[in-house]
């Protein structure tokens, strides 16, 4: 519609189902103006962060497992050295 156009110049759709589509008016949302390249870069950064977090979690778990095994072996060593000798009767 041009500026200053009269009501007789306003375009009216001739599709028979046009009025049935009014429920879609508030459903339309504009997408952000980010480029595809920027979105891919952000996805790559997110993947790198997640991979780093997973790597760090694996390293923490590995260290905990080593510490657990060391503690178990130390406990076993202490039990062996402190057990009283059994004498045969």
**Domain definitions of the chain by residue range:** 50-80
18 confidence band (pLDDT: 50, 70, 90): confident
What is the widest separation between alpha-carbon atoms in the chain? Answer: 120
pTM: predicted TM-score of the whole model, two decimal places: 0.39
Q: Which of 18-27, 48-57, 74-83 is modeled with the greatest confidence? A: 48-57
Q: What percent of the chain has pLDDT over 90?
A: 0
Alpha carbon distances (Å) from 81 to 16, 17, 25, 69, 71: 94, 90, 81, 18, 15
Report the Cα 24 to chain-centroid distance in Å. Answer: 31
3 confidence band (pLDDT: 50, 70, 90): low
């Amino acid at each position: 519609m041009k500026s200053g156009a009269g009501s007789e110049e306003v375009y009216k759709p001739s599709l028979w189902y046009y009025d049935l589509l009014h429920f879609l008016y508030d459903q339309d949302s504009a997408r952000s103006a980010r480029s595809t390249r920027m979105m891919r870069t952000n996805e790559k950064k997110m993947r790198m962060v997640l991979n780093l977090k997973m790597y760090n979690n694996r390293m923490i778990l590995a260290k905990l497992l080593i510490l657990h095994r060391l503690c178990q072996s130390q406990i076993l060593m202490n039990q062996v050295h402190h057990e009283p000798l059994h004498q045969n009767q």
